[in-house]
Amino acid sequence: MRIVVCLKEVIDLAQVRFKTDGRTPVLDGLPVRLGAFEKNALEEAIRIKERLTEVEVIALSAGSGRLKESIKEALAMGADRAVLVLDPLLEIADSAGVARTLAAALERIGSWDVCLLGEGSDDEYTGQTPSRVAALLGLPQITNVRELDIAGDGRVRGTRGLEAELEVVACDSPVVVSVTSELNTPRLPPLTAILKAGRKPVEVWTLADLGLGPGTVGPREAQVEVLSNLAPAGSRKNQILDGDLEAQIEELLRSLEREGVIS
Amino acid sequence: MSGVLVYSDRDDLAHDLSAWAAAQREVLGEPTAAVLGARAAERAEACRAYGAVRIHVCDAPAVTDLLDDAVAGVLAELVTREQISVVLIGATRRGRSLAPRLAQMLEAGCVSEAVELGLEGRRIVTGRYSLGGNTISREWVRTPIQIIAVAPGTVERAVPGAVGGDLITFEGQVNASRAAVIERRDKPGLETNIADSERLVCVGRGLASEEDLPLVQDLAEALGGEVACTRPLSYEYGWLPEERMIGISGQKCSPKLLVSIGVSGQVQHTVGIQGAKTIVAINTEKGAPIFKQADYGIVGDMYEVVPLLTARLRGRRGGGAAMKASQPQE
Ligand SMILES: Cc1cc2nc3c(=O)[nH]c(=O)nc-3n(C[C@H](O)[C@H](O)[C@H](O)COP(=O)(O)OP(=O)(O)OC[C@H]3O[C@@H](n4cnc5c(N)ncnc54)[C@H](O)[C@@H]3O)c2cc1C
């Protein structure tokens, strides 16, 4: 069985700073890492490999040259090999462009059974890629999966977490699955694995290798134009109370009463 | 523009979006709706009071399970047949995953979870959280067909109007998914509706142990509200059910009052509390980011502050039981 896990490289968003206006984000020079939900997906693939025999786990990512470094974490966690699609166009591609790239790479990898992705990326969390990849390949999708069972014969059973209920969906492979963080806790690879990761095979493809280019992997705003992307204007009072605790609580209750938020 | 198609697996969202589209009819064209799945005819009947001029009904067995590929197939055909230029979808979990599938089938641009929706001139402008919730990206979809999934609570709650709108049975091809739903289970612990609560006490990892939960439950009771939490308390520790978890991957709330206790205030959490009218934060660390998101802050140990606050609130009521907050809608 062959499982392909799609991973996205994201900037560390806890480190985002703002210009002096307090609203314009500054992203230059921030460290990058693999997305959180994608690691849940990878962890699950590795567990399946540990449970069943003859499972190959491939880490697939499309993006910038920095991926050569960040993908090592996936290899250290236990992916057998990696396929990277690297192209300057991908640094400015929108989710449709990325999906097209991943779908083409999945076709080129060939004969896989399950494609796993995160339910959304740490940065944009739009969750478009799994659905778009599945649509491009004409495959069913099982999204928001929090429990996953893949049998040796390739039958996939995913439990989706919906708002009010859990829904168990079964499907024969091939199928596209997106996962949530309830699925598992990703392992921290031991140092020995990190050292060995550098020796695992990494194949690098370009968009041209996949028959794609500027016409098919459009720039970021080809489909959706961004008018502004700013932190919301702060409108909170930010009043830190002082005095002894009793006095602070008195003042707090007076303020809340005045605002009509307590009865 | 030639028209809007509204769809949601949650009927109330479909009603809200229909009413919104009907109000923008001058600019966006005729509003139509699609009702799919179990009891579709009956549900479509209820939809007639919200402004759609045509309501397409499909209860074919292939869509009863509402699997994304089957539903997207029906909607794509309606879009083509009705020459739709805007599809509004309720951004439930299903809706969020359906919208991009439909978009890809139609080669369309998509916003998968708009938290702001408005018209600027003749353009629909949406806002969505970006950069991990640090920012709001305001954008418009420039492809000939626009797919927009709209988060619950983004547009006004619709009130039923005059009953109109023709019901049309969907006669097109319905392709079943290769996948199948084999079981449905209720989620455990679904007894609250954080999104609709008027007063919330939201607790984070400042809570040292599960045994201490009564501390915050008592405060919630004294306020006539509900207990909510950050992600570690539900996903990692399992102390509270995930329905009470607030943030980008949990609930978005808009209470009158939110008291945030022992919460650091990472953006992935605070995007879920933007809608609160008044926010009070209690945290031992003066520099905790939550204070930047708060109206009132008390720098202190929750184990000292919270019991005192609870006692004072109870005292105000003459020691009696707390008045219950108004019931959540519906
Ligand atoms: C993709 C992604 C999605 C995420 N989605 C969500 C989400 O939807 N919701 C969410 O909540 N998180 C989410 N997170 C996690 C988020 O980044 C934070 O890790 C989390 O919100 C922190 O929870 P916390 O504030 O309870 O804990 P901490 O960050 O550990 O903060 C605990 C706070 O308690 C204070 N404290 C300690 N003791 C006391 C005391 N005795 N009295 C008072 N204060 C005390 C400390 O000073 C500290 O500020 C997400 C993360 C990622 C990567």
Q: What would the two tokens of residue A171 be?
A: 């499907």
B178 falls within a domain: no
CA distance B27 to B29: 6
Looking at the structure, tell me whether residues B228 and B264 fall in a common domain. Answer: yes
DSSP A219: B
Closest CA to A45 of A128, A156, A120: A156
Q: Are B198 and B165 found together in one domain?
A: no
What is the bridge-based pairing of β-strands B109-114 and A175-179? unpaired
B223 in Cβ contact with B312 (< 8 Å): no
Residue B176 lies in a domain: no
Cα(B232)–Cα(B239) distance, integer angstroms: 9
Residue B158 and residue B56 share a domain? yes
Start-to-end CA distance of chain A, whole Å, equals 61
Return the number of CB contacts < 8 Å for A and B. Answer: 248
Which residues in chain B are closer than 8 Å to A141, comparing Cβ atoms?
A: 68-69, 97, 101, 179
Tell me, yes or no, whether B208 and B143 share the same domain. Answer: no
Whether B122 is in a domain gets the answer: yes
Q: Say if residue B198 is in the same domain as residue B248.
A: yes
B160 and B272 together in one domain: no
Check which CATH number belongs to the domain holding B241 and give it: 3.40.50.1220
Cα distance between residue B66 and residue B85, in whole Å? 23
Report d(CA B19, CA A72) in Å as an integer: 51
Kindly list the distances between the CA atom of residue B67 and the CA atoms of A1, A14, B2, B298, in Å, as whole numbers in the listed order.
25, 35, 28, 48
Residues contacting B209, CB < 8 A, separation 6+: none
**Spatial contact of B273 and B216, defined as CB atoms under 8 Å apart:** no
pLDDT tens digits along A121-162 = 988 999 999 999 999 999 999 999 999 999 988 899 999 999
What average pLDDT score do residues B215-225 get?
96
Per-residue model confidence (pLDDT) at position B283 = 98
Look at residue B188 and tell me if it is in a domain.
Answer: no
Residues B221 and B308 in one domain: yes
- Considering the domain architecture, whether residues B28 and B162 belong to the same structural domain is answered as yes
Is B329 inside a domain boundary? no
* This model's pTM is above 0.90: no
Min mean pLDDT across B27-31, B100-104, B146-150, B186-190 is at: B186-190
Taking the C-alpha atoms of residue B244 and residue A3, their distance in angstroms, rounded to an integer, is: 34
Residues B124 and B258 in one domain: no
Residue by residue, pLDDT tens for chain A (263 residues) are: 999 999 999 998 888 889 998 899 999 889 999 999 999 999 999 999 999 989 999 999 999 888 999 999 999 999 999 999 999 999 888 999 999 999 999 999 999 999 999 999 988 999 999 999 999 999 999 999 999 999 988 899 999 999 889 999 999 999 999 999 889 999 999 989 998 999 999 999 999 999 998 888 877 778 999 999 999 887 899 999 999 999 999 999 999 999 999 97
- pLDDT band at B318; cut points 50, 70, 90: low
Distance from CA of B15 to the nearest CA of A (A): 19
CB contact under 8 A, B93 and A161: yes
How far, in Å, are B2, B42, B71, B109, B168 from residue B83 at the CA level? 6, 26, 18, 16, 16
Probe site for chain B from A131, A217, A241 (most B CB atoms < 10 A): A131
For chain B, how many structural domains are there in total?
2
Strand A141-150 to strand A155-161: parallel, antiparallel, or no bridges (unpaired)?
A: antiparallel
Judge whether B179 lies within some domain: no
Structural domain range at position B47: 4-169
Q: Is residue B97 part of a domain?
A: yes
Q: Are B130 and B212 within one domain?
A: no
Note whether B44 and B146 are same-domain residues: yes
**Tens digit of each residue's pLDDT (9 = 90 or more) over B273-304:** 988 999 999 999 999 999 999 999 999 999 99
CATH classification of the domain holding B98: 3.40.50.620
Q: Do A228 and B143 touch (CB under 8 A)?
A: no
Whether residues B27 and B137 fall in one domain: yes
* pLDDT value at B7 more than 90: yes
In a domain, B327, yes or no: no
- Mean pLDDT, chain B, as a whole number? 92
pLDDT, mean of residues B122-145: 94
Helix (H, G, I), strand (E, B) or coil at B115: coil
